[in-house]
């Protein structure tokens, strides 16, 4: 199977390229990027060819992984679908609910699969938490405390014209999706507070708090802030969740499986992961979905649900009120 990566704007393109190299019967056939310099450099790093023409790149693959700036997700997904190519799109699926719905509709009409890059739900601990809930071991879900805190990614991530927003856009979707995946419940309402405190010159929010109602009657909180110190924190951030039910408590830590390295040769410590590789598992699932003609574990509809939560959060910020999803 030939897979193309469309744009290396998102840093996750690096890990997806590595994941493709490790899969039997799969080739990273080409990298397309509208930034020719970046595309050529990354293609050499990925040991693949660079193609500056999008149509030509689409002719060289069976499916694509889209790692562009958020604002370009719809355009690239629809171009891929028009060429009959399945797509795995980086999160968030889109910057607006309307774009996400259009992407799903376009792919459905073209008979092309659409997946959303939610690697967190692929971890073994996510499945274990889901099993604990579905088996009744935790009882009914009462409350969830989530956090997806990170360093400031900079670059286009802090340009709302390319990203669609700040920390709320960037770090709401993983926990929103994880809540839905493990509980089987929907997020029904959002109240949000957000501001810019860590990096005063940013044109987007860098911290916030979301309070979310759940369809089963419980509630959840989420800290999506870029609050980890850029010059000192040993990793990009974290994804954590504590769930309290009527029958027990369970905790989830996506990055817990790591070794912390301190060395004189390094400016700061580093976290070296040794456990589940969510990106590898996600890319492998997407490839399997294409081969088996089934939806990926995280579908376009799953991506849409997370985008709806983000949109409700921004509407809450605008109105100062809780907003139904």
Q: What is the pLDDT along the chain (325 residues), one digit of tens a residue?
A: 999 999 999 999 999 999 999 999 999 999 999 999 999 999 999 999 999 999 999 999 999 999 999 999 999 999 999 999 999 999 999 999 999 999 999 999 999 999 999 999 999 999 999 999 999 999 999 999 999 999 999 999 999 999 999 999 999 999 999 999 999 999 999 999 999 999 999 999 999 999 999 999 999 999 999 999 988 888 888 999 999 999 999 999 998 888 888 888 887 888 888 888 999 999 999 999 999 999 999 999 999 999 999 999 999 999 999 999 9
Q: Which CATH class is domain 123-277+299-324?
A: alpha beta
Tell which CATH classification among 3.40.50.720, 3.40.1050.10, 2.60.120.20, 3.40.47.10 matches the domain 2-119: 3.40.50.720
β pairing state of 258-261 and 270-273? antiparallel
For residue 237, the 8-state DSSP code is: B
| 27: Cα within 13 Å, side-chain hemisphere | 9
pLDDT at 236: 85
Q: What share of the chain is helix, strand, coil (3-state, %, to 5)?
A: 40, 25, 35
CA 311, 112, 281, 74 torsion: positive or negative?
A: negative
For residue 215, the 8-state DSSP code is: T
Burial class of 270 by CB neighbour count within 10 A (0 to 12, 13 to 18, 19+): middle
Q: How far apart are CA 90 and CA 93, in angstroms?
A: 6
pLDDT at 211: 98
Q: How far is CA 136 from CA 46, 141, 246, 250, 297, in A?
A: 45, 10, 10, 13, 23
| 134: Cα within 13 Å, side-chain hemisphere | 10
Burial class of 56 by CB neighbour count within 10 A (0 to 12, 13 to 18, 19+): exposed
For residue 204, the 8-state DSSP code is: S
Q: Which residues of 207-240 are buried (b: 16+ CB within 10 A; e: fewer)?
A: bbebbbbbeeebbbbbbbbbbbeeeebebebbbb
pLDDT at 98: 98
Q: How many CB atoms lie within 10 A of CB 292?
A: 8
pLDDT at 272: 83
pLDDT at 54: 98
Q: Where are the domains of the chain?
A: 2-119, 123-277+299-324
């Amino acid at each position: 199977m030939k897979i193309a990566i469309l744009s290396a704007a998102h840093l996750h393109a690096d890990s997806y390229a590595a994941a493709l190299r490790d899969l039997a019967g799969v080739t990273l056939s080409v990298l397309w990027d509208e930034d020719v310099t970046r595309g050529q450099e990354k293609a050499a790093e990925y040991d693949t060819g660079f193609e500056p023409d999008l149509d030509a790149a689409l002719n060289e693959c069976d499916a694509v992984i889209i790692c562009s700036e958020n604002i370009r997700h719809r355009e690239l997904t629809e171009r891929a679908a028009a060429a009959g190519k399945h797509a795995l799109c980086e999160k968030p699926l889109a910057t607006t609910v309307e774009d996400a719905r259009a992407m799903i509709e376009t792919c459905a009409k073209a008979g092309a699969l659409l997946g959303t890059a939610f690697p967190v739900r692929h971890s073994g601990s996510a499945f274990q938490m889901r099993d604990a809930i579905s088996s009744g071991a935790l009882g009914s879900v009462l409350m969830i405390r989530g956090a997806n805190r990170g360093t400031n990614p900079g670059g286009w991530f802090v340009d709302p014209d390319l990203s669609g927003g700040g920390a709320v856009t960037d770090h709401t979707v993983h926990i929103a999706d994880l809540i839905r995946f493990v509980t089987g419940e929907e997020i029904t309402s959002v109240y949000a507070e957000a501001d810019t405190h860590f990096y005063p010159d940013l044109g987007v929010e860098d911290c916030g708090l979301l309070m979310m109602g759940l369809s089963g009657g419980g509630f959840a909180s989420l800290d999506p802030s870029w609050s980890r110190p850029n010059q000192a924190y040993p990793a990009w951030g974290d994804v954590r969740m504590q769930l309290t039910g009527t029958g027990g408590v369970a905790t989830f830590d996506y990055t817990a499986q790591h070794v912390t390295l301190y060395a004189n040769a390094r400016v700061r410590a580093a976290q070296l992961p040794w456990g589940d590789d969510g990106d590898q598992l996600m890319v492998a699932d997407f490839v399997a979905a294409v081969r088996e003609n089934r939806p990926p574990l995280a579908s376009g509809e799953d991506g849409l649900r997370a985008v709806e939560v983000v949109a409700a959060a921004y509407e809450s910020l605008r109105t100062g009120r809780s907003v139904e999803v």
